[in-house]
Amino acid sequence: MTEPLLPEPSDADLAASRLRLLSTCLRGDAVPEQVGTLLAELHAIVHEELPALYRQGSPADIVDLHGEVVGAIEALRQSCNLPVTGGKWIVGFGGAFSAGKSTLINALLGAPLLPAELDPTTSIATYITHGETDDVLALNVLGQRVRLSDDDLRSISHDELRVHGSEVGHLLRTAVVVRNGFPWHHLALADTPGYSKPEHPDGDPTDADRARDALNAVHSIVWVVSADNGVISDSDLKFLSTLSAAIPKVVAVSRADRKSPEDIKQIVALIRRTLAERNIGVLDVVPVSRRRSAGYPLTPLTDLFDAWSRQRPAPPCPRTVKLALRPYARYIDGELVRAHEHMGATNRALAMLPADDGAIATLEAINAQARADMDRLKAMLTSLAALTRRLFHVLENLGDAMSTPMPEPSELDLLGPKRLALIANLSAIFQRRAAGAGADEADGTTDTAALAAVTADPASGTVVGNNRHAAIWQTLNDLPDVCNAAPLLRRHLSLAWLDSLNHADS
């Protein structure tokens, strides 16, 4: 019997290795003191002062609105601690447990640039991006940046406790794999945790929260569904409905080579129909396979990445925060108007009643309550304005410290990325579809790269005209940015619809 070339590591060696990794994960580089102070002030405003204001009165959707603010601040915190992803278009890969996200990422890269192909049960959000030198950086729970080896990162998975007897992975929030061979210099891919595990088919709370936070902080999403399942699951649909509708999404049907072409065609059609019925907008549904000979190329996705990589996204935090706070200000304004109307109505009624009428006391009580409500709402508006000024002042100072300008966006900035000439861009998409009519036209396939170009960098112009179709025009004009046109497009994929819009503007 031949001896192994290398001796098996002893239990003592394994324990020493995990202790070393534990020490590494707990002793990192803190952010500069000024940045840390500003981040702490942001945290206090967002997690303490704003919720205290909400408790005085808020609309029904305040939890969702505040969640957008929290997500934007957390994404900013990450970029401050791991600046290698700053200024890059981030594509997040999401999906259920073992959907094939990591495998698909390596296939898209054309080489195993992720260290030894990260386990599909990746327990922390892991980014991969371009850099001059290969490196692995991570952010620990203390907000410190640590440097890991490829072997360290590979060892951190859901099976860490069973394999290594430790749970070091719980000390890390996220990791960034930097590779010189990464093909897109201005783009980063994010491999997020599967939101569910076999023992929790409807979603493990911890993993679901991690995945949701990571995906709501990216610029676009590739949602991976295994062709083995034949459908997009109800738990997938529930999770997708919790993600920001403003983030453009593509559904990738992985492992398409395991099914017949006819089965894949039916699976894609079923997924499209199911998403439309659940009002979940996506740019496209594309079958893919890592086997180049299978007939399911990765070019629909790589074309998207090429288009997105040409963008230089501005820091999304200021715009996201202002868009999320604006409905709250409108809510207070609306309540103030109603309180004023109540007080005016009671004043008129009191003036009309005789002095001895028994209803006077009741009306005076209603009037006093309306006056108190007006005073409270005016104070809320004053507090919200002050908090908003402080918040954007901190963001501007933080931008100066990070050499990334983050001024408060103007109302014009909130209209979205060059949302002008929307109809011209939609027309180009539909004309391209018409020119390529055939099998793709029959099953509703869109020109994904063209749509990506529209959502990322539409041409300039103005949406104006004589609106005979006022309701449709108003829908388009109300969109916060072009990316939100995707659900509308999925429901109205017809040249006739486009023609009616064009004629309405003539």
Exposed / middle / buried, residue 180 (Cβ in 10 Å: 0-12, 13-18, 19+)? exposed
**Domain match, 320 and 305 both:** no
State how many domains the chain has: 3
- Is the Cβ–Cβ distance between 363 and 346 less than 8 Å? yes
Q: What residue ranges in 227-323 does DSSP mark as E strands?
A: 249-254, 284-287
Single out the residue in 309, 327, 349 at which a domain terminates: 309
**Domain match, 232 and 196 both:** yes
Give the pLDDT confidence score for residue 117 in this predicted structure: 45
pLDDT band at 478 (very low <50, low <70, confident <90, very high): very low
- Report if pTM > 0.75: no
- Specify if 62 maps to a domain: no
**Domain match, 215 and 271 both:** yes
**Domain match, 431 and 383 both:** no
- Specify if 393 maps to a domain: no
Determine the residue type at 74.
E
**Domain match, 335 and 434 both:** no
**Domain match, 268 and 252 both:** yes
**Domain match, 305 and 325 both:** no
Rounded to whole angstroms, the Cα distance separating 451 from 447 reads 6
Mean pLDDT for 370-381 is 92
The torsion of the CA quartet 296, 299, 302, 308, rounded to 10 degrees, works out to -120
Contacts of 39 (CB under 8 A, 6+ apart): 31, 77, 80, 143, 398
**Domain match, 336 and 472 both:** no
**Domain match, 170 and 208 both:** yes
Tokens 């309306």, located at residue: 370
Residue 444 in this model has a pLDDT that exceeds 70: no
38-50 pLDDT per residue, tens: 999 999 999 999 9
**Domain match, 163 and 279 both:** yes
Nearest C-alpha neighbor of 121 from the set 11, 210, 17, 229: 210
- Specify if 404 maps to a domain: no
Rounded to whole angstroms, the Cα distance separating 153 from 168 reads 10
Nearest C-alpha neighbor of 388 from the set 332, 338, 313, 315: 332
- Specify if 396 maps to a domain: no
**Domain match, 149 and 254 both:** yes
- How many Å separate Cα 158 from the centre of its chain? 24
Nearest C-alpha neighbor of 249 from the set 51, 95, 420, 444: 95
Mean pLDDT of the chain: 76
What is the domain extent for residue 266?
Answer: 88-309
- Specify if 40 maps to a domain: no
Single out the residue in 338, 373, 388 at which a domain terminates: 388
Single out the residue in 274, 309, 344 at which a domain terminates: 309
**Domain match, 131 and 171 both:** yes
337-351 pLDDT per residue, tens: 998 888 888 888 878
286 bridge partner residues: 252
- Specify if 273 maps to a domain: yes
- Specify if 398 maps to a domain: no
- Specify if 50 maps to a domain: no
Altogether, the residues listed in the chain come to a count of 506
Determine the residue type at 85.
T
Contacts of 356 (CB under 8 A, 6+ apart): none
Number of alpha carbons in the 13 Å side-chain half-sphere of residue 117: 15
Q: Which two tokens stand for residue 146?
A: 């640590």
